[in-house]
């Protein structure tokens, strides 16, 4: 029978003895490859270096040259109870990102503190990060007890101070263990030099840890990683792929997706090459097909309808954020955020307070940036509504990372969901209109001169549905009727105004913003402005509509209407009769009193 495996991470301030402790664990449990210990001792003798157990782990050339652990090194050992993976996370401040990467994979955590040096700022910073990562099993090891003559008083003082700090973070340390890792004291057996300590030794504590489990008992969550559409032969399946992160589900269960709120029933559960699986549970990667051909995007979260325990949906999140980017985080600057399988654009719109992680004191002084290694409570606003859980409810869908210049620059947890009132775009449009330098000609004067009101006509739909043909025919028809109309092909913008944009997620958002601003300029001139866009969603339309304010937008959709929250004005079949479709739009303009038979 295969033994279970448990992962634990060892973290602490630089030179507090992490690698020494792990090296000693490997040696004392006979977990080293044959000859490894002898070869390292021979290397030390050859190079006139004193042998240290840390050298058993620090195998990277950079580590041996600098004497510090710079990566989250992994190693394996076993006891009679189970197999283990040890993650040795670096303690140096410059490599704190590596430490987080290692700690995020752990079931349990050892925090090391040097008995002589005592609690350092990094010791407290690491405690805060452990709380962010929501590691429940935490044990504190007070190392190098030989340097304080195995003093119980020193041990008790460190335990009291650090335990008070961890308690304020919501961490209940399982126990504190005094050790001398170099000499193996309280590692495999209790030390004669510390007879006052009667609790578990380190190996016994490791065996006492409990694996996290697979979150089977929690409510079902399946973040959509990708959607595959098959077209070969008669295979018309749309397979939703990803990993079940919690709960269980059966074929035939009704499901609901967030944030779209679409519902269907599980038709099949598939793990290649099988497509007839009756049920599946947390921990497995798989694919699902549905009874209905729903349009589902990657990043949505699939839940079981009957559980009535659903993710939050909002654009504004209250979070605890740890920033580790080389450049400071700037308020109102756009960044990429990843939560679960979702990637979107977000910005910090408000700093509630900055926490001194070494003292847990708050700084409420108004700031416009977050510095490297700052821990902050803040409000994040996403470009579109997203689905997520509060971290205390679901760990996987309640934590996130922020990417800046293609690197992970921040990480955090979601602590609250805020209403979508007072969004940044609403405030921006309000301030823009206040600052707008209007001339002496009013919109009413322009309407009288031109014989019509201004309007932005946006034609949407998939490629190849006849959008461009309709747009240029509408422009000509309006022009022939003595109305000021102007059509812009998106390709003209791509090679001109938008030549600096790419297909990145940032530039797609920027394209939508520029289109809304361009529409505001044209409608402000009193013109009937026309364009056609492919593959935009409800929230893109809503953003363009807001950016075009105080003028209005008329949306004509061609083909399948996938808009659920935005009501289009006209919905036409794909590749419509151009003359008939043009007349329908003209009728809608008359109905809205944009153009009249006569204008006084």
Q: Report the SS3 class of residue 153.
A: helix
The token pair that represents 503 in the structure block: 């297909």
How crowded is residue 406: how many other Cβ atoms within 10 Å of its Cβ? 7
Q: How far apart are CA 559 and CA 461, in angstroms?
A: 6
Cis peptide before 259 (omega within 30 of 0): yes
pLDDT per residue, tens digit, the chain (600 aa), is 456 788 888 888 878 888 888 888 887 787 777 777 777 777 777 777 777 776 666 543 333 444 444 344 677 888 888 888 887 766 555 556 666 766 777 889 999 999 999 998 888 888 888 887 878 899 999 999 999 999 999 999 999 999 999 998 888 999 999 999 989 999 999 999 999 999 999 999 999 999 877 788 889 999 999 998 876 667 777 899 999 999 999 999 999 999 999 999 999 999 877 777 899 999 899 999 999 988 888 999 999 999 988 999 999 999 988 888 889 999 889 999 999 999 999 999 999 888 765 555 555 566 778 888 888 889 999 988 999 999 888 888 998 999 998 888 888 889 999 988 878 889 899 999 999 999 999 999 999 999 999 999 999 999 989 999 999 999 999 999 999 999 999 888 888 888 888 888 888 888 999 999 999 999 999 999 999 998 888 889 999 999 999 999 999 999 988 888 888 999 999 999 999 999 999 999 999 999 976 544
The token pair that represents 515 in the structure block: 């289109």
Q: Report the SS3 class of residue 194.
A: helix
- DSSP state letter for 180: B
* Kind and range of the H or E run holding 520: helix 505-524
Do 99 and 72 touch, CB atoms closer than 8 A?
A: yes
Q: How far apart are CA 110 and CA 528, in angstroms?
A: 67
Do 192 and 200 touch, CB atoms closer than 8 A?
A: no
Q: How far apart are CA 370 and CA 323, in angstroms?
A: 7
What are the residue boundaries of the structural domains of the chain, listed by start?
A: 5-208, 222-307, 313-422, 438-591
The backbone region for 12, taken as left when phi is positive above 0, alpha when psi lies in -120 to 50, beta otherwise, is left
CB environment 251-262: b (16+ within 10 A), e (fewer) = bebebbbbbbeb
Q: How far apart are CA 246 and CA 500, in angstroms?
A: 42
Tell me the three-class secondary structure of 286-313, residue by residue.
Answer: EEEEECCCCCCCCCCEEEEHHHCCCCEE
Q: How far apart are CA 515 and CA 290, in angstroms?
A: 36
The token pair that represents 363 in the structure block: 């700084």
Q: How far apart are CA 112 and CA 127, in angstroms?
A: 11
Longest dimension (CA), the chain: 104
The backbone region for 84, taken as left when phi is positive above 0, alpha when psi lies in -120 to 50, beta otherwise, is beta
Q: Which residues contact 283 (CB under 8 A, 6 or more apart)?
A: 214, 215, 216, 243, 244
| Of residues 124, 121, 234, 105, the one with CA closest to residue 169 | 124
Do 375 and 322 touch, CB atoms closer than 8 A?
A: yes
Is the domain defined by 222-307 classed in CATH 2.40.30.10?
yes
Q: How far apart are CA 580 and CA 453, in angstroms?
A: 23
For the domain made up of 313-422, give the CATH fold. Answer: Elongation Factor Tu (Ef-tu); domain 3 (2.40.30)
> Any bridge partners for residue 178, and if so which?
142
Spell out the CATH class of 438-591. alpha beta
- DSSP state letter for 463: T
Q: Which residues contact 146 (CB under 8 A, 6 or more apart)?
A: 180, 182, 183, 185, 193
Q: How far apart are CA 49 and CA 67, in angstroms?
A: 12
- DSSP state letter for 2: P
Q: How far is CA 526 from CA 385, 519, 595, in A?
A: 33, 11, 12
Do 136 and 142 touch, CB atoms closer than 8 A?
A: no
Please give the model's pTM, rounded to 2 decimal places.
0.76
Q: How far apart are CA 413 and CA 170, in angstroms?
A: 14
Q: How far apart are CA 6 and CA 84, in angstroms?
A: 5
Angle 162-165-167 from CA coordinates, rounded to 5°: 110
Spell out the CATH class of 5-208. alpha beta
**Looking at residue 356, what is its pLDDT?**
60
How many Cα atoms are found within 13 Å in the side-chain-facing hemisphere of 232? 1
Q: How far apart are CA 522 and CA 530, in angstroms?
A: 10
CB environment 304-318: b (16+ within 10 A), e (fewer) = beeeeebbbbbbbbb
How crowded is residue 556: how many other Cβ atoms within 10 Å of its Cβ? 25
| Of residues 488, 483, 484, the one with CA closest to residue 498 | 488
Q: Which residues contact 9 (CB under 8 A, 6 or more apart)?
A: 72, 86, 87, 88, 89, 102, 103, 105, 106, 108, 109, 110, 135
* Kind and range of the H or E run holding 206: helix 202-208
Do 400 and 322 touch, CB atoms closer than 8 A?
A: no
How crowded is residue 392: how many other Cβ atoms within 10 Å of its Cβ? 12
DSSP letters for 492-516? HHHTTTTTT--SSHHHHHHHHHHHH
Asked, colleague to colleague, whether 222-307 and 313-422 share their fold, the answer is yes
Q: Is the dihedral of CA 205, 211, 212, 218 positive or negative?
A: negative
Q: Which residues contact 129 (CB under 8 A, 6 or more apart)?
A: 96, 99, 100, 103, 322
**Looking at residue 22, what is its pLDDT?**
85
| Of residues 437, 439, 454, the one with CA closest to residue 529 | 454
How many Å separate Cα 220 from the centre of its chain? 19
């Amino acid at each position: 029978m295969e033994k279970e495996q448990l992962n634990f991470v060892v973290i602490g301030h630089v030179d507090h003895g992490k690698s020494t402790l792990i090296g000693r664990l490997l040696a004392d449990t006979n977990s080293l490859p044959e000859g490894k210990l002898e070869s390292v001792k021979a290397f030390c003798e050859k190079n006139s270096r004193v042998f240290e157990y840390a050298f058993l782990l620090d195998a990277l050339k950079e580590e041996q040259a600098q004497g510090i652990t710079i990566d989250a090194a992994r190693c394996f050992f076993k006891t009679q109870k189970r197999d283990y993976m040890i993650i040795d996370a670096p303690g140096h401040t410059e490599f704190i990102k590596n430490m987080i990467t290692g700690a995020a994979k752990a079931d349990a955590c050892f925090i090391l503190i040097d008995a002589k040096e005592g609690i350092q700022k990094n010791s407290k910073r690491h405690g805060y990060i452990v709380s962010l990562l929501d590691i429940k099993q935490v044990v504190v090891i007070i190392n190098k007890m030989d340097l304080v003559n195995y003093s119980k008083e020193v041990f008790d003082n460190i335990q009291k101070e650090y335990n008070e700090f961890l308690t304020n973070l919501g961490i209940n340390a399982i126990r504190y263990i005094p050790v001398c890792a170099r000499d193996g004291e309280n590692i495999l057996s209790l030390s004669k030099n510390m007879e006052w300590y009667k609790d578990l030794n380190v190996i016994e504590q490791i065996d006492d840890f409990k694996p996290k489990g697979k979150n089977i008992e929690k409510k079902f969550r399946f973040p959509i990683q990708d959607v595959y559409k098959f077209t070969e032969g008669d295979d018309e399946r749309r397979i939703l792929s990803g990993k079940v992160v919690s709960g269980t589900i059966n074929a035939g269960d009704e499901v609901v997706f967030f944030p779209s709120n679409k519902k269907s029933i599980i038709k099949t559960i598939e793990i290649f090459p099988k497509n007839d699986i009756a049920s599946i549970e947390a921990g497995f990667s798989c694919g699902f097909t549905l009874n209905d051909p729903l349009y589902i995007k990657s990043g949505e979260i699939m839940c079981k309808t009957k559980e009535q325990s659903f993710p939050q949906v909002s654009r504004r999140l209250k979070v605890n954020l740890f920033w580790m980017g080389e450049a400071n985080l700037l308020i109102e600057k756009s960044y990429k955020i990843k939560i679960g399988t979702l990637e979107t654009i977000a910005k910090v719109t408000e700093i509630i307070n900055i926490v001194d992680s070494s003292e847990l004191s708050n700084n409420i002084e108004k700031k416009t940036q977050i510095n490297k290694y700052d821990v902050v409570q803040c409000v994040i606003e996403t470009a579109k509504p997203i689905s997520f859980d509060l971290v205390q409810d679901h760990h996987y869908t309640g934590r996130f990372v922020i990417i800046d210049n293609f690197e992970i620059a921040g990480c955090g947890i979601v602590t609250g969901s805020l209403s979508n009132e007072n969004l940044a775009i609403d405030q921006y449009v309000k301030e823009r209109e206040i600052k707008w330098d209007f001339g002496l000609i009013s919109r009413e004067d322009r309407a009288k001169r031109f014989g019509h009101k201004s309007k932005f006509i946006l034609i949407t739909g998939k490629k190849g549905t006849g959008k461009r043909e309709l747009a240029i025919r509408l422009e000509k028809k309006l022009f022939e009727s003595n109305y000021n109309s102007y059509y812009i092909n998106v390709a003209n913008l791509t090679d001109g105004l938008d030549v600096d944009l790419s297909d990145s997620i940032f530039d797609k958002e920027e394209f939508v913003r520029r289109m809304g601003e361009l529409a505001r300029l044209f409608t402000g001139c009193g013109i009937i402005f026309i364009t056609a866009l492919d593959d935009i969603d409800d929230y893109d339309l809503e953003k363009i509509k807001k950016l075009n304010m105080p003028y209005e937008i008329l949306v004509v959709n061609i083909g399948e209407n996938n808009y659920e929250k935005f009501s289009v004005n006209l919905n036409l079949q794909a590749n419509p009769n151009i003359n008939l479709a043009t007349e329908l739009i003209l009728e809608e303009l008359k109905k809205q009193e944009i153009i009249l038979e006569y204008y006084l």
